[in-house]
Copies of this chain bind each other. A is one copy, B any other.
Amino acid sequence: MFTYILDYNSKIPIYEQLYVHIKEDILSHIISSGEKLPSKRKLAAHLKISVMTVETAYEQLISEGYIYSVSKSGYYVNNIEKTLSITATDINPIPVRENLTRSDYIYEFKTNAVDTENFPFSIWAKLMREVLRDKDKELLNKSEPKGLYSLRIEIAKYLKAYRGINCQPEQIIVGAGSEYMINLIIQLLGENNKYAVENPGYHKIAKILSAYNIDTEYLPLDDYGVSMEHLIYSNINVLHVSPSHQFPTGIITPIKRRYEILKWAAEKNSYIIEDDYDSEFRYNGRPVPALQSLDNNSRVIYMNTFAKNLAPSLRISYMVLPWDLVYKFDNKFQFYSNTVSCFEQYTLTKFMAGGYFERHINRMRNIYKSRINTIKNCLNQNDNIVIKGENIGLHIVLEFNKNVDINLIIEKAKNKGIFTSNINNYYFKGNHPKPALVLGYSGINNENIVEAFKILNKIW
């Protein structure tokens, strides 16, 4: 008979103590496989506990499969072979704590920074509170797979007004970031596609494609964007481009080249993924029309994000699909739940519908423009440096006319607390024709730009 010491003063219920004792005895083979357990009544009497307590412990052991009951006979121990006995792959779980320390830089010309100082936080918080107050239970339901319909209406209106894009809310898919969108596109377009990205370009796209083992070509650029010669002689059928403000060179693809790319796509039945990531911030004249707005052949998948113009923490991007892909999504991918929380979708809807988004963009455009002017002023006396890509977006390229050691400049700047980056970092192969730096100015204010350039002007 099993004799266990049960602790009546413990917080752990008696049935659970009994269950643990028996389980441990089974696992350590003190009770053998096939052995019959004492009846509930006998064990209860032996341990001076209630039959109900034993029954509860036995039921737990049954439900976990340690024992089984045979009708009108009793309880028996199962044959449990622990995986411990087999040779274990020796993985040593060294719990390395993640490095959560902040940057040591004082002046950061990062291209992925966003000006959180100028985010209209109090308005956003006010709208959030309104959503919390008004929406209540609706917030707990899932949104439609493509995103909240009301948000998609606002996005369609915005695209019409600011990017000349005519689209229906049905064509728009909202999702948790542009990288997630690329995942969706890969599934939408299916197998046996050959992708191309710009070289130099935005690394993450190529990384995602490579994570899926998808063939990717790197197309060189000329002064107008992707080289048509290379595009035409490639055998790719999905092209990722950023024609409004090529990353990182800042090239704005002119209308002629836009039509050439569209013609290529129409003739080859290829798709173009147009990444319009920072086109809101155009500082001179009207925006160049998006490829999507010039496309009569439904070849363009238009992508944009609120990460660059609002806050990266929001994780809200969207894309506009051509109708054939809309139908495909509706038929085959409706099973995907939308990845953005309803709460933030409602808040963003209010933010756009209330005109706050437009005002914020206009305000930020002026702020960013003044930063470019500050940089221009700071560079005034230097004939060796040419600014490129300064009419749009959130970063510029500084090209050096004389031969300088760009890595030495970056290193020296780093030692003075200034973050800059080499344009060659964005080349998958080859190098930029001239030594050049990429400077993002979305995360640094005018005062700090002036301070940083005092130092930089001494370095180069």
Contacts and interface: CB of A to CB of B under 8 A. Distances in A.
Given A255-B64, A285-B60, A313 B89 contact: no
Interface stretch (A35-43, A114-122, A405-413): A114-122
Interface string A289-301: 1000011111000
A187 interface: yes
Nearest to A20: B286
A80 B254 CA distance: 10
Interface stretch (A92-100, A363-371, A395-403, A415-423): A92-100
Contacts of A263: 81, 83, 86
A359 interface: no
A177 interface: yes
Contacts of A255: 64-66, 78, 80
A116 B324 CA distance: 36
A88 interface: yes
Given A176-B176, A176-B180, A335-B204, A312 B100 contact: no
A11 interface: no
B294 A83 contact: yes
Nearest to A142: B312
A32 interface: no
B341 A315 contact: yes
A315 B176 contact: yes
Interface range on chain A (Cβ under 8 Å from partner)? 35 or more
Contact of A116 (B140, B269, B311, B335): B140
A80 to B, nearest CB: 5
B252 A286 contact: no
Interface string A166-207: 001110000011011001001100110000000000011001
A88 B296 contact: yes
A125 B202 CA distance: 38
Nearest to A78: B256
22 contacts: A19-B286, A64-B254, A66-B255, A78-B254, A78-B256, A81-B263, A83-B259, A83-B297, A88-B297, A89-B269, A93-B298, A96-B170, A139-B313, A141-B312, A141-B313, A142-B313, A187-B211, A190-B213, A204-B335, A307-B337, A312-B337, A339-B339
